[in-house]
Amino acid sequence: MAVRDYEMMYIINPTVADQEETLEEAINKVHTLITDNGGEIVNVDRWGKRKLAYEINDISEGYYVVTKFKIAPSTQTEINRVLKLNENIVRYMIVNEELN
C-alpha cells in the first residue's frame, strides 16, 4: 500500500486550549488517530492561539496546529469521519503535499 505525504491544519476550540492538559489531550488524540490508522507523524508546528478570519459557531479565536504526516490514502475517510465528530476541533483541512 502506497504511503503519501499530507499536511493538516486544525483549529482547537479556545476553551480547550486554555487548559494545558486538555490542549495536550486534544493534540494527542488527533495524532493517535493518525498513528492508529498506520500513519507516521513527520512534523508538528504549533502556531498557538490566533483570531479566526470569521466567527464559527460563536467562536472568534482558536489554537492552530499544523501537522505533517505520512499515511495510506485509503485511511483518509476514517480520519475525516473521526475529526468531524471531534467537538474540540473547530475546523480542519488536510492537503496532499504531493499535489502541490
Of residues 43, 42, 40, 46, the one with CA closest to residue 26: 46
Q: What digits encode the pLDDT tens for the residues 76-100? A: 889 999 999 999 999 999 999 876 5
Task: Name the one residue in this structure whose C-alpha cell is 504549533.
Answer: 46
What pLDDT, on a 0 to 100 scale, did the predictor assign at position 8? 97
Q: What digits encode the pLDDT tens for the residues 28-60? A: 999 999 999 999 999 999 999 999 999 998 999
Contacts of 78 by beta carbon, 8 Å cutoff, 6+ apart: 37
Task: Report pTM.
Answer: 0.92
Which listed CATH number (3.20.20.70, 3.40.50.720, 3.30.70.60, 2.30.110.10) goes with 4-99?
A: 3.30.70.60
What pLDDT, on a 0 to 100 scale, did the predictor assign at position 1? 63
Could you state, in order of their start, the residue ranges of all structural domains in the chain? 4-99
Q: What digits encode the pLDDT tens for the residues 2-27? A: 899 999 999 999 999 888 889 999 99
